[in-house]
């Protein structure tokens, strides 16, 4: 799994540009905040999934014969958001050799 760098400020609060701007959260209901958090988690999952897919895009070139194992791996990556909603519990498919 690709490592994700987490930066903390002097108070131990996460500094991450991927999180949504929370300055307007005080005017939101708890349900609206939970929706925004869920969207952020899903976006982080999609971003990492897309990076993993991008590393294998060369195999989809017309002059490369992709094995069934690689086809399955790439499809499992594309389907990851059907089964998971955040990076917290995702089980990534194993990249073929």
pLDDT tens for 81-92 read: 999 988 888 999
Question: Does a structural domain hold residue 54?
Answer: yes
Q: What is d(CA 91, CA 83) in angstroms, rounded to the nearest whole number?
A: 10
Domain count, the chain: 1
The residue assigned the tokens 């498919």 is 93
The answer, yes or no, to whether residue 1 has pLDDT greater than 50, is no
Question: Does a structural domain hold residue 74?
Answer: yes
Domain that holds residue 45: 7-83
Question: Does a structural domain hold residue 91?
Answer: no
Angle between helices 30-54 and 68-78 (to 10 degrees): 160
Question: Does a structural domain hold residue 76?
Answer: yes
Q: 74 falls in which pLDDT band (50, 70, 90)?
A: very high
User: Is 21 or 95 the better-scoring residue by pLDDT?
Assistant: 95
Q: What is d(CA 81, CA 90) in angstroms, rounded to the nearest whole number?
A: 9
User: Is 80 or 37 the better-scoring residue by pLDDT?
Assistant: 80
| Average pLDDT score over residue span 28-54 | 87
The answer, yes or no, to whether residue 20 has pLDDT greater than 60, is no
7 bridge partner residues: 15
Question: Does a structural domain hold residue 70?
Answer: yes
User: Is 40 or 21 the better-scoring residue by pLDDT?
Assistant: 40
pTM of the predicted structure, to 2 decimals? 0.64
């Amino acid at each position: 799994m690709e490592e994700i760098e987490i930066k903390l400020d002097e108070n131990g609060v996460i500094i991450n540009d991927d999180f949504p701007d929370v300055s307007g959260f005080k005017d939101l209901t708890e349900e609206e905040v939970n929706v925004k958090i869920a969207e952020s988690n899903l976006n982080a999952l999609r971003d990492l999934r897309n990076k993993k897919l991008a590393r294998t895009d060369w195999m989809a070139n017309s002059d490369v014969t992709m094995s069934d194992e690689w086809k399955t791996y790439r499809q499992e990556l594309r389907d990851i958001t059907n089964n998971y909603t955040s990076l917290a519990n995702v089980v990534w498919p194993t990249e073929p050799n």
